[in-house]
Amino acid sequence: MMEKSGKVLAIDDNEDILFALKLLLKNYVDIIHTESNPELIPELLSKEKFDVVLLDMNFTKDAISGQEGFNWLGKILEIDPDAVVVFITAYGDAEKAVKAIKSGATDFILKPWQNEKLLATVSSAIRLRQSKNQATDLKIKQIEINAIQDQPFHEFIGNSPEMQQVFSTIRKVAKTDANVLILGENGTGKELVARALHRNSLRKDETFISVDLGSITETLFESELFGYMKGAFTDAKADRQGRFELASGGTLFLDEIGNLSLPMQAKILTTIERREVIRVGANTPKSIDVRLICATNNNIHEMVHEDTFRQDLLYRINTVEIHLPPLRERTSDIPLLANHFLTIYSKKYRKNIKGISSETLKKLSQYHWPGNVRELQHALERAVIMSDSENLQPDDFILANKVDKVGEIEIESFNLDDIEKNIIVKVLKQNQGNVTQAATMLGLTRTSLYRRMEKYGL
C-alpha cells in the first residue's frame, strides 16, 4: 500500500475526472487539490507548494494537439523550476509522450487510467520532488556555509614564508580538477587545506565529503566508500550511497590514506581509474565525478619504497603535492595564531581577556608543539578557561615538551646504532609501547619502526 504523503494539484476541465482523482488519491496523499480552470494555476502555486501537478493536456473542447498543456507546463516551470508535472490526456501517443518529457514533464498518463499505475506514478513523482527538495536544501546550506567562511583561507592563517607558499599553491591549484595530496604531521591543518581548495574551486557550490580512512575497518571499507544494495548483507535494510557517490559533482577528501592496506589501496585505485563505483550487492557500475584530495601524516614516499603503498596509486593521487610545515618550523606565526584563538575562546567563554603578555608569547614560541596548531588551539582554550587576569600569563599554560624529554639521553657510545636503539627505547617507553604514536614522534612509518625494532631485538 502506498504510504500517505505529499501534496498534489490536479487540473482538468472535466469535473468527473477531478472527482475520480480526488476519490482515488485522498487516502494516499496528504492534500489533493482539484481545479478545472487552468487560469488559476499561478495563484494556486503562489499559495501552496505542491509536490506533484497532474495536468490535462487539452482544455478547449475538441482540442487534441496538447498545445494548451505544453503552454501551461512552461508557465508552471517558470513559477517553480523544480516542479514535478505529470500530463494526463485521453489522446496520448508516443510522439506526445516524448515531447512532454523533453518539455520538462516527469511522466505521462493516459485516460482511462489503471488505478495501480496512476498510484505508482504519483508515488514516484512525490519521491522525485522530495529528493529535489533535499538537493536544493543541501545546496543552499552549502552556499550559506561558504558565505560565512568569507576569508580566503578560513581559520587557516599565517604570515610566515612557509605558509605563504602553501597559500600560493592553493590559489594555483584550486580552480583545476587536479588531484591533490596534502602531506604533514597531525594537527597541521590538512583538512583545512582540503576545504580551502574546495571553497576556491569551480565545485564550491557542490558537496564536500570528508572521510577518515583511519577509522574505517577493512570489513566496512567497501560499504562505506562504495555503498550497498538492500539485502547485500544482514543489516542492509535499504539501498545506500557510498561516500564516492555522495561526493559526485563535488570534492571527496580522503584523510589518512597512508593507513590503507594494500587490498584497500587496489580498490581505491580501480575506482579512480574507471571513475565509477559498484555498490556491494550490485552488478552494474555507477559513474562518478569527484575532485579527489588526499592527506596523510605518513612518509608516503618511503612507504612506496618499502612496498607498503602502491606506486601507481601515489601517481594517481598526487598530481600536486602540498607540504604543510609543522608549527615548530613557522614559529613566527605563533603570536598570530594565539591571538586568533584567544579572540574565539574569549567570546565563547565570555571572558574579558585583552591580550597575551610578551613573556607568554616567548614561552609559546620556544615550545616544540609536537601536536602542532591543534595543540596550540587546545592550550589557548584551556588558558582562557583557567585565567583570571586581563592578559594571559606564562603560568596559564602547562606545556609538557615531550621532545625535550626525549632529548635528555645520556650518550654512552658514539656508535650510531647504539644511539638509534637508545632513542627508540626511550620513545616507546614514553608512549607506553604504542608503536603508531612512537613512529609518528620519530618521523617513521610503522613498518620502518618495526624493522628497526626487529634489528635491535626490541
What are the pLDDT digits (tens) for 187-223? 999 999 999 999 999 999 899 999 999 888 888 899 9
Q: Cβ distance 159 to 333 under 8 Å? A: yes
Paired with 52 in beta bridges are 8
Q: Would strands 320-323 and 180-183 be described as parallel, antiparallel, or unpaired?
A: parallel
pLDDT in tens, 128-179: 888 888 777 676 666 555 544 444 455 578 899 999 999 999 999 999 999 9
Cβ pair 427, 442 in contact under 8 A: yes
- CA-CA-CA-CA dihedral for 390, 394, 400, 401, to nearest 10: 130
| Residue-level pLDDT at 455 | 82
Residue 1 reports pLDDT greater than 50: no
pLDDT at 150: 44
Nearest to 28 by CA among 56, 59, 54, 4: 4
Q: Would you place residue 403 in the very low, low, confident or very high pLDDT band (cuts 50, 70, 90)? A: very low
Confidence of residue 64 (pLDDT cuts 50, 70, 90): low
- The percentage of the chain sitting over the pLDDT mark of 70, rounded to a whole number, equals 89
Alpha-carbon distance of 103 to 71, in angstroms, equals 10
Does position 185 have pLDDT exceeding 80, yes or no? Answer: yes
Confidence band of 59 (pLDDT split at 50, 70, 90): confident
Residues counted in the chain:
458
What count of other Cβ atoms lies within 10 Å of the Cβ of residue 141? 10
> Residue 142 has what pLDDT?
62
Give me the chain's average pLDDT, please.
Answer: 86
Q: What pLDDT sits at residue 313?
A: 97
Give the CB-side neighbour count of residue 327, counting CA atoms within 13 A: 26
Among 222, 168, 156, smallest CA distance to 194 is for 156
Distance between the two ends of the chain, CA-based, in angstroms?
67
Q: What are phi and psi for residue 317, nearest 5 degrees?
A: -95, -15
Mean pLDDT of 28-32: 90
H or E element at residue 7: strand 7-11
3-state SS, residue 246: helix
Spatial distance between the Cα atoms of 373 and 392, rounded to a whole number of angstroms? 18
pLDDT 10s digits, 334-373: 999 999 999 999 999 999 999 999 999 999 999 999 889 9
Best CA proximity match to 209, nearest among 149, 253, 240: 253
- Tell me which range, 47-51, 107-111, 301-305, 404-408, is most confidently predicted by mean pLDDT: 301-305
Report whether 64 contacts 29 (CB < 8 A): no
Which has the higher per-residue pLDDT, 150 or 29?
29
Report pLDDT for 155. 58
Residue 91 pLDDT: 61
Helix 372-386 with 334-348: angle, nearest 10 deg: 40
Q: Is residue 3 predicted with pLDDT exceeding 90?
A: no
Predicted confidence (pLDDT) at residue 10 exceeds the cutoff of 60: yes
CA distance 296 to 440: 11
Q: Report which of residues 264 and 399 the model is more confident about.
A: 264
Q: 208: which strand partners? A: 251
- All three cell numbers of 162, joined, read 612557509
Q: 201, 251 in Cβ contact below 8 A?
A: yes
Please work out, in degrees rounded to the nearest 5, the angle formed at the alpha carbon of residue 178 by the alpha carbons of 177 and 181: 130
The pLDDT confidence band at residue 250, using thresholds 50, 70 and 90, is very high
Question: What band does 237 get if pLDDT is binned at 50, 70 and 90?
Answer: confident
Please state, in angstroms and rounded to a whole number, the distance separating the CA atoms of residues 121 and 101.
14
Q: What is the model's pLDDT at position 445? A: 78
Is the pLDDT at 18 greater than 60? The verdict is: yes
Instruction: Between 400 and 35, name the one with better pLDDT.
Output: 35
pLDDT of residue 69: 81
CA distances from 84 to 111, 113, 140 (A): 19, 19, 20
Determine if the pTM surpasses 0.75: no
Cα–Cα dist 217/223, whole Å: 11
Cα dihedral 238/239/240/241 (nearest 10) = -170
430 Cβ neighbours under 8 A, 6+ residues apart: 402, 405, 406, 438, 441
Instruction: Give pLDDT, residue 406.
Output: 43
Between 328 and 430, the higher pLDDT residue: 328
Q: Which domains does the chain have, with CATH numbers?
A: 7-135 (3.40.50.2300), 163-323 (3.40.50.300), 327-399 (1.10.8.60), 404-455 (1.10.10.60)
3-state secondary structure of 281: coil
The answer to whether residue 95 scores a pLDDT higher than 90 is: no
Q: Tell me what pLDDT residue 60 has.
A: 64
Which amino acid is it at 412? E
* C-alpha cell at position 266: 587496489
Place of cell 599554560: 397
pLDDT score of 411 more than 90 = no
Q: Give pLDDT, residue 407.
A: 46
Q: Give the DSSP letter of residue 213.
A: G
Judged against a pLDDT cut of 80, whether residue 100 lies above it is answered with no
